Amino acid sequence: MAGRRYCASTLLPNGRCVLAGLEKQPLFNSQGDPISLAEFARKLEMVWARRPAEVRTFVEPITTQVADDEGVVTAVVTWQLNNEQKQVESFFRLQPSPYFGWDVVQTSLLDDLLAVLS
């Protein structure tokens, strides 16, 4: 549906995201300090409030390191905004999901996006 945002987990009728899949995971801010799921969701909502609904985004991994139960990816994220190309280099720390696959438990992307979109 054009103009509507979706989350990886659940979208409530009021449009708020429920990041239920991350409830069992430890989460960290970009500096590595522990944060709550509510803090993570607040920062995510701040990004969504500043980002246009329809943006074509490209993610190009630069480095990938996987060791046992943790992975770190550095990637360049590029998108168009007001006919101008924007780009950030961000890192993502991943841990095995209690459900399936991997969860991002720490990233610099939200802070990087807030800096560019402010």
Is 70 in contact with 95 (CB distance < 8 Å)?
yes
Q: What is the pLDDT of residues 15-47, one digit of tens each?
A: 455 566 677 788 899 999 999 888 888 888 888
Instruction: Identify any residues that bridge with 8 across adjacent strands, giving them in sequence order.
Output: none
Is 69 in contact with 97 (CB distance < 8 Å)?
no
Q: What is the pLDDT of residues 40-75, one digit of tens each?
A: 888 888 888 887 777 788 999 999 999 989 999 999
β-strands 34-35, 70-81 pairing:
unpaired
Instruction: Identify any residues that bridge with 72 across adjacent strands, giving them in sequence order.
Output: 65, 93
37-50 and 109-117 helices, crossing angle to 10°: 30
* Boundaries of every domain in the chain: 10-117
Q: Tell me what pLDDT residue 16 has.
A: 52
Domain 10-117: which topology? Answer: Nuclear Transport Factor 2; Chain: A, (3.10.450)
